[in-house]
Each structure stands twice: as structure tokens, then as C-alpha cells.
Structure 1
């Protein structure tokens, strides 16, 4: 007999899905089965030096850790085989709204079969850039705002819908995987499809990973709004903003319609090495954007370190340098994280971004672009997991 007890939490639109799942789950089984309910809540106050020409102090959430609740399960089928599933929803604490374009289970939604060699799964799933290399984005461990510029390289931990995925178990420190996302467009097998593959190796204090991900093209929540992502006035040789000559007001031409990108391809690699209480970390990415018969490349180099000062207190710092279409960005990030318990953490963090002339700086893909080539932020936050 399997008994599940849940806290009295209500999430908008989720009650019927949860009730159905529990109602249809078998009450007893000869095989070993488990269902786990879990989540993360993150909220705090952020100061930004310049958003569209003025500073702001605001409530913000899901920054250092994305807000989520989820259910994952496993049923032993015998012979080393198991059925597995996960449903994970992202949301905003500030207003209770769903994230990921309003998808009920936008963070993850899959079912599959696990074997001693690995797991085959079907659904909305994390790509191999997330599985193998995004954890080396050391700046984002310091400050959740410090994703790579515009997240063009998908180091922020992105998903693929309608995907078939294989992820191996770890063998002597080595694991690998690949996946394909079906576009589902009649008469055009490639349109809206995507694929991703990668590998990771760990040996004592040393780890290294690499992955390649391609979207044909990026669409939905991953469609391009170049000015909001990068703060540049042009993209692939085409203007992406208009400026009122009288007032200087900037209008984003692709705020309500996606820029017509045809293909987005990223290779990323990262590595870490632990020396006592300090873990050194670095990564590199090369992203090719093909749009309007023009191919452009963004390169990102990043390095930093995590210092575990005490079991409860850690200091994290990172620096990243990005280049794209003749522009460049330099960003430094710092964070101090303190565990109040195994499940609750307080943190302070900050970022400073300096872009080249002619670029309105925007940190990650997080704020309204600055009216100048620099932007800074500071944050005080708390995270609780359950």
C-alpha cells in the first residue's frame, strides 16, 4: 500500500491535474513504486541602476532559483526496468501566474522507461545543453540574473517540447545523451524541429562536459526579441528599434512579433576543478544565428570560482565576456549565500554589465535595457525548497 500526504497548497489551474493523477495511481502493487512531491520558492527585492533611463527598486521572484512545484514517480517493472514520469510547473510568486507562456507543466512533463543503461523518455524535457554544460555558468550561481547575454546559447536551462530523449546512466564517471524534438508541421519534417546531444565526465575533483543544440527555428517562448535580449539597435543587419527624434523614446520593433530567425545552433563546453574548499569553473559557447540569409555568431567566455567558506556560507564570483556582430559585453557577478537550514537559504548578489558603444546594456534577459552602455543590479533574496 502506498500512501501520499501533501501540504495544503493550492496552485492556479493545477488542482484538477493533481487530483486526476492521484486518483488513477494504483493503491497497491507487488512492485516497488514511489511518488515524490517537491518544489522551490524564491523571492526578494532587487535594485536596478537603469531600466529605460531610470533606476528601480522592485519585488522579484524566481531569480536565483526558478519557482516550481513538481511530482515525479518511479515504478519498478522488474529485471532492472522501471517506468518513470515527471510533471513540473513554473510560476511567479509575485502574482501567482504560470510561467513558460502559461503552460501548466512548462518546466517538465514526460513519461518514459528506465533501464540499467539509461532512460528513454517522451515529452517536454530539458535539452543536453542543460544536462551537460549549463551548470558551469558560474556567474548564474552567484546571481540568477547573470545568464549569458540574451540566453542565445541556452545556458539558462531550456526545454524542448514534443521530444524523444535518451540519457545514459553514469559509467566510470561518463554519461551521454541525445534527443529530438518533433516539429509536427505537415509536409515539412524539419520546420520547428530541434535536436541536442552531449556528454559529461567526472573524475574526482575534475569534471568536463560538452553539448550541441540546434533549433529549426527557435519559436514559441524561445522566439527572438533582439533588443530585449541584447540591447542592440540592429540584428542580422536589420534595424530592431526605432527612436523618436524629438523625445528619444526607443520603440522595440519585435516586442510583439518574433524576429524571423531560421536556425539557432549552439556548441558549449565547460569544466570545473575543486581545490580544497574552492571550486574553479569555466565555460565557452559558440552560437550561430542564421536569419534573413545572414549568419552571425556569438562567442561567450566565462570563468569564476565558488568558495565554501563554511558548511553554511559560500561566496561565488564570475566574469563573462561576450561578442556578437561587432559588439562586446563584459560582466562581473558576485554572490554571498547562507544556509539557514538544509532547505532555506538567504542570499545577496550583484552584477555590473558594461557593453560597447551604441549598445543599451541589459543584464541577461532580465530587465528593460538601460539608456546607456552600462547596467548594474543588487538583490536580497530568500529561497525555500520542499
Structure 2
């Protein structure tokens, strides 16, 4: 859990336009985030090795603000603004040209009895299920499951659509989440294309999350008809019109070891022939001293319009210096069919605030 620094903002009657004697609502704003940088070497699929200092070894660096106002009767107004950045260069975003508030940017309402609704740019439930049920969580550097789900495999054409299209944040979206029902929550999201001439171009999905004692499980689904903008799937592969994906995941913490498992199915609807991917991930987290040994293996086979096999594994150790700061070392290895093997290794530090 992230440790957050909280501070309260008094709601002034004059600023709010309230008359004397009117009741003031209670509000708060939280500033939080994390900085993650690492040093090591990366050899991408089919490329040469490069050494350097990079950002986002275990987690993508970001900062954010979120706030709420108590409206009474268990109802709150809420907002969240979260921006990625790269500490190795000081640049904003995950990459050049990224949205400023790319992680989340929404406003909404939250109720103790009926849940929450959020409008803006939201993190889709499928992404949350992906990162919660593998030991390397949201690492775009060392997590095999993140690579198989969100990063390309170095191939072109239909063979290169090995994971999801549509990004890990959805613009122009509305998301509903139920309240906790005995450990079970449900989430639904819809993203509008918002372009004339592209009716029916949208994104939608949902998930179930269950946490009870040492056991947790998830089921997630999403369907997208565009990547960054309506009509752009055809530019990735001629005749590509829709992608559907489903995932199941579970964890169990035995104390001496925590087990992770995921299964994933992706179907790319292409006029010249569909491409289907089946695969999953198995992983462990083993407490050792003030940290944990992490290990994960992922496998995906794509068939139909393309035949590609991908095998990826990673090992690492994450050492906690405090509740907010940890250091880590990890090795990652990736193999895709006939391409040369890729690997990454390095050490890093992550500080949360």
C-alpha cells in the first residue's frame, strides 16, 4: 500500500459563496506518487544490447492528486489527476507525446451503498486484473505477464498483435464500481470513440475481483474497436476490426510462499483470417528477510492468421528499506519464435510518497 501524505483544505464560506450560518462540507486533497529508477542493460527482441540508467524498473513513476468532498448521507464528490514521468530524463509521460494526466483523470461520485461512478480517463478493469495477479505487478521492464498482455513481440502484421490494443488508460470513458460485497466487487467501463463517421467504434469491458483472507481471484473481459483513435485498427493490419480478450486469475498466500496464476485468451477479428492467442502466467513471491524473492513464467501461443510462440521468465529480489522505499535486482528473458532472445537485467530503487 502506498503511504500518502494528507492535508486538509478548509472550505471558506466566502470562497464557496455561502451565506453566513450555512453548513460547510468537509473536503480533503491527497498528494502522492512514486519515483522509480534503475541501472542496467536491455536487449530487445531482434536488437543489440544497450546499457543505461532508465525509469520504471519495478513500477512506472508517477505523481497524483486526489480529493473528495463529503456531500452527506454517505455520498462524496471525488476526483483524481495522475501524471506519469521519467526520472532518468525529467520528461513527463511514459513516452514522448503521451497525455499529461495519462494514468487517470476523472471526476465522479462515490456512495457507501451503491458504489462509485467516474467520468474522464480511467484505468480499465482488465489492466488492474493483469497487474494484481502476477508477482512483478505493473513492471513494464521485468513482468512477463505485462509483456505478453501490453507489449509487442517484435513481429509485424497479424503476427505482431500479440497483446492488447487500446492502452492501459481509456479516454472519454465512464466507469462504475460496486461497493465491496463480502470481498467481491464488480467493475464496468465504456469508452466512447467520439468521432463522426465512426459510429460503433468504442471500447467496453469489466471485471470481478474477490479478496477473502489469503485467497484472491479475478475474471476480466474487454472488447475494443480502436487503439488510439476510431478507425485506426485497419492501419495496424489490413482488415483488423475488433479485439476481444478474457482473463482469469488467482492467488493464494501460504505465508511461506504466495502463488500466482493467470490464463488469458485474445481474439483479433481480421477479415483475411482471425488471430487467436492462448496463454498464461505462473509465479511465486517468497518472503526472504525484509524483502521477497519474485519469479514468474509466461507463455503465449498465437494461431490462425499467424503462428507465434512466446516464452518469457523473470526472477528478482525486492528488498524493503522502509515502508516507503525499496531496492531491487532482477533479470528478465524473452523468446519469440525465430527472433533472437531478448533479456534485461539491472538494479534499482523506488521511493513512494
**Cα offset for 1:277?**
2.9
Matched, 1:352 2:349: no
Q: How does 1:234-245 map to 2 (within 5 A)?
A: none
Q: Secondary structure at the match of 2:110?
A: strand
Which residue of 1 is the match for residue 298 of structure 2? Answer: 320
**Aligned mates of 1:122, 1:287 — CA distance in 2:** 27
TM-score normalized with structure 2 length: 0.82
**Aligned mates of 1:143, 1:31 — CA distance in 2:** 41
**Cα offset for 1:274?**
0.9
CA shift in 2, pair 1:333/1:174, >3 Å: same
**Aligned mates of 1:308, 1:156 — CA distance in 2:** 35
Q: Which runs of 4+ in 1 moved over 6 A?
A: none
**Aligned mates of 2:166, 2:142 — CA distance in 1:** 10
Matched, 1:137 2:134: yes
Task: Provide Cα deviations, 1:135-191, integer angstroms capped at 9, x if missing partner.
Answer: 113355688432232615459981111001101121111100101101112243312
**Aligned mates of 2:183, 2:166 — CA distance in 1:** 24
Matched, 1:309 2:318: no
Task: Provide Cα deviations, 1:233-292, integer angstroms capped at 9, x if missing partner.
Answer: xxx9xxxxxxxxxxxxxxxxxxxx744532121101100011123110100110111234
Q: How many equivalent pairs are there?
A: 318
Which residue of 2 is the match for residue 124 of structure 1? Answer: 121
Which residue of 1 is the match for residue 147 of structure 2? Answer: 148
**Cα offset for 1:121?**
0.8
Of residues 302, 323, 344 in structure 2, which corresponds to 1:342?
323
CA shift in 2, pair 1:185/1:150, >3 Å: same
**Aligned mates of 2:122, 2:105 — CA distance in 1:** 7
**Aligned mates of 2:269, 2:48 — CA distance in 1:** 34
CA shift in 2, pair 1:195/1:51, >3 Å: closer
**Aligned mates of 1:326, 1:289 — CA distance in 2:** 13
**Aligned mates of 1:281, 1:156 — CA distance in 2:** 25
Which residue of 2 is the match for residue 280 of structure 1? Answer: 259
Q: Secondary structure at the match of 1:102?
A: coil
**Aligned mates of 2:17, 2:67 — CA distance in 1:** 14
Of residues 80, 90, 106 in structure 2, which corresponds to 1:86?
80
Judge which range, 52-61 or 160-169, deviates more: 52-61
Of residues 106, 116, 122 in structure 1, which corresponds to 2:102?
106
Matched, 1:378 2:348: no
**Cα offset for 1:49?**
4.4
CA shift in 2, pair 1:206/1:38, >3 Å: same
Matched, 1:67 2:46: no
Which residue of 2 is the match for residue 21 of structure 1? Answer: none
CA shift in 2, pair 1:326/1:71, >3 Å: same
TM-score normalized with structure 1 length: 0.75
- Structure 2: which 5+ runs fail to align? 1-6, 151-161
Report the aligned-residue RMSD.
2.8
